[in-house]
């Protein structure tokens, strides 16, 4: 079990930091894909190209988020079997995850490529950016199998306690992505197609790197012939975990699509400002993503080991980390937001800085509610209650959609509060939902234990 990590023993805070910090670097380098594309496009191709790429951001998150969600969900039964030391069932979940990912990759890639034009039209993409937007997002959609490959293998590795290997390959892929961006845009003059192509190639590289690690480094993953057989039972469990998580991402993203459509109607200037602000904010929010993934693995392993007393301790430790980082991130963006935003803007676009600063300041003031969304939702999912956690995504969609309606009345200022409203609404559901889920879990396992005792 090389490089695997057991989160069922030891102090929760130290375990969370030890497991989460490598994850954090992984998310940071993953963001380099988007940041490198956006920075190079914005600085060297101009604000029109930046707006074209930015106008696809919400639908990009809608589709790629679904991919990430279902792959993370597929990894939860693997983490639970790891905690229970049930290696046979663990292998069955891994192989059936592979069959499901292949099927989903084929279907999603085909559908998105066929309806790419219609998707952009529904989002009211501006005429002066439509062609570039189409080229960029069509290329990303063609690379959906690469996203499946990386997220599936990285999810398996994290479930086994290895949070370092995905980071290592993302570092390599990020460097390659930046080199290819420069090569494709400056040398081959491929414009936004070059930026998208570089991202897809880099994603494939990180995916194959993680696949190699999965295949070669874990004794418990040495498959027998029987392990490769398709199992309706295991597929059912995987779908029960993965589809709600994928839908959660997508439902959340629908709200973002609605908001992006409203911003698109404001004009190219506002689209470019929101794009720059969102890219910077997404980078700053990587610690929240790392906390969420850590909590999913932590909860999954401890539920598998039936160590109920560790659930509250781990959750509380991560909430403290989220609160501290939220304050630091707000102060950093408040005082240096203008300087950092110029990474994505050329000098001709400097006039956009007040809009960028307004958007960033509003978002970062509500980072702690965002931290809670990630921590509590993923914790609930790791406990095995993915469908319940998905409802938080519905509330996020409602929050963003309601504020998006107000954009037509109050303009850009309303758009700044769309995500904060979504986070607060989701928290109002997630926090009490955790305690309800824990009670259900304890009741379930208590009944199982009682039945087993009576049978003995």
Which sign does the torsion angle of CA 44, 50, 56, 58 carry?
positive
Q: What is the dihedral of CA 19, 30, 238, 379, to 10 degrees?
A: 40
Q: What is the mean pLDDT of each run of 10 residues along the chain (456 residues)?
A: 69 88 76 69 80 82 89 90 90 96 97 95 88 95 97 92 86 88 91 92 94 88 90 94 83 79 86 85 89 90 88 94 96 90 80 90 95 94 83 87 87 91 94 92 76 59
Q: What is the pLDDT of residue 32?
A: 66
Return the pLDDT at 33. 61
- Give the pLDDT of residue 154: 92
| Rounded distance between C-alpha atoms, residue 58 and residue 415, angstroms | 14
pLDDT tens sequence across 408-425: 888 899 999 999 999 999
Q: What is the pLDDT of residue 205?
A: 95
Cβ(141)–Cβ(61) below 8 Å: no
């Amino acid at each position: 079990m090389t490089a695997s990590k057991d989160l069922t023993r030891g102090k929760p805070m130290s375990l969370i930091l030890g497991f989460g910090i490598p994850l954090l670097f992984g998310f940071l380098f993953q963001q380099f894909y988007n940041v490198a594309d956006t920075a190079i496009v914005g600085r060297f191709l101009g604000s029109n190209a930046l707006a074209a790429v930015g106008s696809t951001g919400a639908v990009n998150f809608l589709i790629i988020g679904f991919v990430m969600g279902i792959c993370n969900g597929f990894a939860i039964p693997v983490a639970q079997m790891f905690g229970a030391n049930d290696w046979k069932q663990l292998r069955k979940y891994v192989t059936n995850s592979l069959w499901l990912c292949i099927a989903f990759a084929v279907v999603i890639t085909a559908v998105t490529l066929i309806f790419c034009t219609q998707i952009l039209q529904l989002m009211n993409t501006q005429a002066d950016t439509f062609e570039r937007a189409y080229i960029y997002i069509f290329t990303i959609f063609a690379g959906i199998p690469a996203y499946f490959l990386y997220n599936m293998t990285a999810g398996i590795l994290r479930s086994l306690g290895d949070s370092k290997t995905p980071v290592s390959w993302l570092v390599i892929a990020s460097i390659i992505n930046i080199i290819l961006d420069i090569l494709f845009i400056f040398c081959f003059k491929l414009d936004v197609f070059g930026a998208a192509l570089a991202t897809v190639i880099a994603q494939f590289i990180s995916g194959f790197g993680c696949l190699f690690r999965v295949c070669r480094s874990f004794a418990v993953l040495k498959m027998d012939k029987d392990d490769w057989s398709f199992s309706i039972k295991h597929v059912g469990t995987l779908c029960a975990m993965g589809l709600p998580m994928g839908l959660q991402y997508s439902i959340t993203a629908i709200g973002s699509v609605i908001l992006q459509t409203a911003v698109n109607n404001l004009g190219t200037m506002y689209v470019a400002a929101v794009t720059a602000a969102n890219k910077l904010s997404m980078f700053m929010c990587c610690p929240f993503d790392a906390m969420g993934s850590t909590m999913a693995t932590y909860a999954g392993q401890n539920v598998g080991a039936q160590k109920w007393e560790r659930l509250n301790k781990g959750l509380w430790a991560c909430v403290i980390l989220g609160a501290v980082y939220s304050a630091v991130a707000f102060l950093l963006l408040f005082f240096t937001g203008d300087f950092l935003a110029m990474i994505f803007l050329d000098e001709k676009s400097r006039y956009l800085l007040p809009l960028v600063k307004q958007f960033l300041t509003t978002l970062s003031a509500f980072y702690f509610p965002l931290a809670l969304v990630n921590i509590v939702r993923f914790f609930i999912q790791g406990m095995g209650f993915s469908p319940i956690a998905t409802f938080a995504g519905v509330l996020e969609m409602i929050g963003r959609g309601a504020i998006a309606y107000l954009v037509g009345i109050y303009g850009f200022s309303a758009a700044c509060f769309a995500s904060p409203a979504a986070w607060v609404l989701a928290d109002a559901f997630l926090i009490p939902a955790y305690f309800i889920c824990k009670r259900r879990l304890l009741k379930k396992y208590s009944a199982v234990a009682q039945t087993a005792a009576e049978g003995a």
